[in-house]
Amino acid sequence: MKLNVVKARTGSLWVRQGIRNFWRQPLALSGLFLLFMALASTTSMLSYIGSFLGLMFIPAASLGLMAAAREADLARFPMPSVLIIGFRQGAAQSKSMVMLGFLYALLFCFVLAMSSAFDDGEFARMYMGGGSITEDAILNENFQSAAIFCLLMYLPLSTLFWHAPALVHWHAQPLAKSIFFSFMACWANWRAFAVFGLTWASIFLTTSVLLSLISMAFEDGQVSMVLMLPAMLMLATMFFSSSYYSFRDCFISEPLVA
């Protein structure tokens, strides 16, 4: 395995590849993403403990969604069991996946705890407690500052775990090395990831604006609400599909396992 540095425009290529790959297996990939969301929603019912467990599952689930995208790319049908592929390669890999999840959840909660300096923990309690965002909270400057702080801190945190589960699974990398190489790959290719992120942000924003315009044309606010959920579901699934291509291009070598 060798780190590969790509050009900035490769970021937009990842987006196009992810969208194209989604349409190879739209129902299967969307169904897997819905299954992931259902599992996350179920654990959140346990409040703080459930939210922590849900966070722990994210690295393994992201690997499962990448593996599903790989299956579609290879013209194969991704089965539901692919979502837990990280726990199907023996005890050693399963232990690494659990540790990755624990570290991810721990660091995420640390970021939330740090955001309490802005709003006395209101944003953290809302996120971990599964509460809904109220209009008063959105208009509160302290709440906004906490949310923005978490977003800014999450960007470097995500670089540690973006490739790590895939490196553990497909390249048999130890836990520490997988996190280190994930960080190095993301920062070595920061231009491509910047293009990748900005492209996806513009796609999500454009879709939201178009749906709002459609709602205004029909003079019915419910129209955009009805269309928003499936549209965002499709875009989120495409996003995870495109993450597979970012991993594939950042490292030179064939995966050790299917």
Give me the residue spans of the domains in the chain.
2-252
Lowest mean pLDDT among 48-57, 155-164, 168-177, 235-244: 48-57
User: pLDDT digits over 130-174, tens only?
Assistant: 666 666 777 788 888 999 999 999 999 999 999 999 999 999 999
User: What CA–CA distance (Å, rounded) separates 113 from 107?
Assistant: 10
pLDDT band at 227 (very low <50, low <70, confident <90, very high): confident
User: What CA–CA distance (Å, rounded) separates 8 from 191?
Assistant: 5
**Inter-axis angle of helices 221-250 and 10-22, to 10 degrees?**
120
Are 150 and 119 within 8 A, CB to CB? no
H or E stretch covering 222: helix 221-250
Which pLDDT score is estimated for 185? 96
pLDDT surpasses 60 at 255: no
Which pLDDT score is estimated for 39? 83
pLDDT band at 58 (very low <50, low <70, confident <90, very high): very high
Which pLDDT score is estimated for 254? 59
pLDDT surpasses 60 at 256: no
Which pLDDT score is estimated for 221? 60
